[in-house]
């Protein structure tokens, strides 16, 4: 059974996502909404990682090769609208990875008839979807100007 492995991957990914939200906030200090909301979204991911611990204790944390997305993301200049757009796109890749892992664990929890894990997957993945929605709105708002404006 690899449930513990994917729980570990998800915990690591949520922690990585929290760090990434804070990185983007620090790279774009002139963006008031990013400065205000990124720490909230990072806190959600840190909380998700903590809430996974009882399930890791239950199923064990096997070593599974986690995707090392963070290492290839957030490259280049963060300046200006195009830099923000690129950073938001990178964040969305991380959030989508986390979202898919929640889906897989939810299906495993259902097969195992683990009601507690099912509830955690449902509740916490809803916040992950809200993170993704926030990113989508800001990408849609920023893309036209960032891609059309002269450098």
pLDDT digits (tens, 9 = 90+) for 61-82: 776 666 667 677 888 777 788 8
pLDDT digits (tens, 9 = 90+) for 93-121: 999 999 999 999 999 999 999 999 999 99
Burial of 36 (0-12, 13-18, 19+ CB in 10 A): exposed
At 85, phi and psi to the nearest 5? -60, -45
Q: What's the helix, strand, coil split of the chain in %, to 5?
A: 80, 0, 20
The pTM is what? 0.91
Q: How confident is the model at residue 147 (pLDDT cuts 50, 70, 90)?
A: confident
Contact 37, 134 (CB under 8 A): yes
C-alpha–C-alpha distance, residues 19 and 22, integer Å = 5
pLDDT digits (tens, 9 = 90+) for 11-49: 999 999 999 999 999 999 999 999 999 999 999 999 999
């Amino acid at each position: 059974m690899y449930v513990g492995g994917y729980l570990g991957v998800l915990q690591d990914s949520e922690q990585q996502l929290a760090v990434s939200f804070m990185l983007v906030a620090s790279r774009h200090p002139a963006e008031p909404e990013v400065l205000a909301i990124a720490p909230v979204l990072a806190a959600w991911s840190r909380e998700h990682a903590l809430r996974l611990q009882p399930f890791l204790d239950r199923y064990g944390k096997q070593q599974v090769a986690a995707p090392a997305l963070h290492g290839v993301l957030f490259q280049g200049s963060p300046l200006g609208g195009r830099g923000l757009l690129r950073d938001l796109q990178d964040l969305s890749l991380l959030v989508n990875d986390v979202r898919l892992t929640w889906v897989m664990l939810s299906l495993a929890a259902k097969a195992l008839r683990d009601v507690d894990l099912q509830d955690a997957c449902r509740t916490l993945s809803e916040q992950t979807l809200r993170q993704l929605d926030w990113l989508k709105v800001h990408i849609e708002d920023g893309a036209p100007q960032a891609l059309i404006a002269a450098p």
